[in-house]
Amino acid sequence: MNAVDNNESAQFREGARQPVTSVRAWESLDSRAHPTVGCVVTLESGHQGRALVPTGASVGQFEVADLRDGGARYDGLGVRDAVVRIETTVAETLAGVPAGEVDDHLDGGPSNVTLAVSQASARAAAAASGQPLWRYLNGSGEVSLPCPMVNIFSGGRHAEGGVRVQDFLAIPLAAGSFAEAIEVVWRVRRRAAQLTEERYGTLMSRLVADEGGLAVLAGDDAEPLELLARAIEDVDENVGIAIDVAATQIERPEEFLSTLERWCSRYPIVSVEDPLDDDDWDGWTDVTRRIGHLQLVGDDLFATSAARVDKAAGLGVANTVLVKPNQVGSLRRAADAVAAARHHGYATVVSARSGDTEDDMIADLAVGWNAGQIKVGSIMRSERLAKYNRLLEIEAVDGVRYGGWPR
């Protein structure tokens, strides 16, 4: 290790050693205008970190639950009790605790309580270290900008009243930079909107789903897939399609597998997510045998749990782990899932949630964890663009190279 590396390591340690002096929280709103938690952590050095946590619509049974108030406010979705818990119990527990050790004291709480504090503490430690968050998380290891998986059409719980399949996404397979990758998918989405307008009229091309994707009327599940394939053919054939089935929302998902196989043989599909229920291990073994030559992503299957990644690897199930920190409630536990995936040779995709905020932290997480891929949503809506803009900044200002499509 050279002198520069030693200096950087000393900075990282200094930021992580700074004690927590204050933890404040408030009730904020996510992109669906549902309550969520905001938090700011202050260190002895005076450095602060701020975080807003996301919420999901498609929530698996193995995720750590949020704390909601119940009652009349926001139809029971209020989070004032979570705010009070952070400012009393959690603040008292963390008083004087080094920022780098905060996550060790957060196990077992509701996700919107623990993740808010975890993220804010990491930001504060990074500020105290004088480093961008991605570098603080990574130390002096290898990093790269992730390949974006960009939502073009939505259905399921992301677009109630539309098709059953949750998301149809575009993946730039041959871009040479992150900026080029974003431009490619921007052109695909623009062409997809034009095709939607031609088929359904102007209004449908202007309406967007929870993650900024286009939505089509309920009917044939293949309709958005056909429109996306046409848009890719018109714009750039070096773009692949990813499908998030979100099978927990589909009745008899095992019957859907034949349709899915047909699609994979007909369209340029390179990635399939959650084609079966989150505890159907036998089914996942079968689907891995049938379409495991593609990127086969587990979301609800893994729930960002290192233990579930270990189990899947032992069974030879799936090959890619979706990483959502709010599924496990802390950055440390999410990082453990990334490490488990890497140990078993699984790819990783850091993901936002359908109810997200303008907080851009997952951009830094995807770079700092060298995840390889990121799934944010569409090229639409400011809470989505905040993440893309942060990655564009990291590429332009910090000079981090683009990793490209990792498969």
**Domain boundaries of the chain, sorted by first residue:** 18-130, 147-398
pLDDT higher than threshold 90 for residue 12: no
Instruction: Please tell me which residue in 8, 63, 273, 324 is annotated as part of the active site.
Output: 324
pLDDT higher than threshold 50 for residue 3: no
324 in catalytic set: yes
Which CATH fold would you assign to the domain 147-398?
TIM Barrel (3.20.20)
Distance separating alpha carbons of residues 264 and 270, to the nearest angstrom = 8
211 in catalytic set: yes
Query: What is the mean pLDDT of the segment spanning 340-353?
Result: 97
Closest to 239 in 3D by CA, of 192, 287, 305, 200:
192
Give the C-alpha distances (Å, rounded to integers) separating 85 from 112, 124, 252: 11, 20, 41
Distance separating alpha carbons of residues 127 and 40, to the nearest angstrom = 13
Which residues, including other chains, have CB under 8 Å from residue 293's CB and lie 6 or more apart? Answer: none
pLDDT higher than threshold 80 for residue 286: yes
Q: How do 239-244 and 372-377 pair as beta strands?
A: unpaired
The tens digit of pLDDT for each residue in 63-81 reads 999 999 999 999 999 999 9
Averaged confidence pLDDT in the chain: 91
Write the class of the CATH domain 18-130.
alpha beta
pLDDT at 252: 73
What is the DSSP code string of 161-209?
TS-SS-EEEEEESS-SSHHHHHHHHHHHHHHHHHHHHHHH-HHHHH---
Same fold, 18-130 and 147-398: no
pLDDT higher than threshold 60 for residue 31: yes
Taken as a whole, the chain contains a residue count of: 407
The tens digit of pLDDT for each residue in 351-388 reads 999 899 999 999 999 999 999 999 999 999 999 999 99
pLDDT at 4: 37
The tens digit of pLDDT for each residue in 196-241 reads 999 887 666 667 777 888 988 766 888 899 999 999 999 999 999 9
Instruction: Please tell me which residue in 8, 63, 211, 223 is annotated as part of the active site.
Output: 211
pLDDT at 1: 32
Query: What is the mean pLDDT of the segment spanning 99-128?
Result: 95
C-beta of residue 157 within 8 angstroms of C-beta of residue 211: no
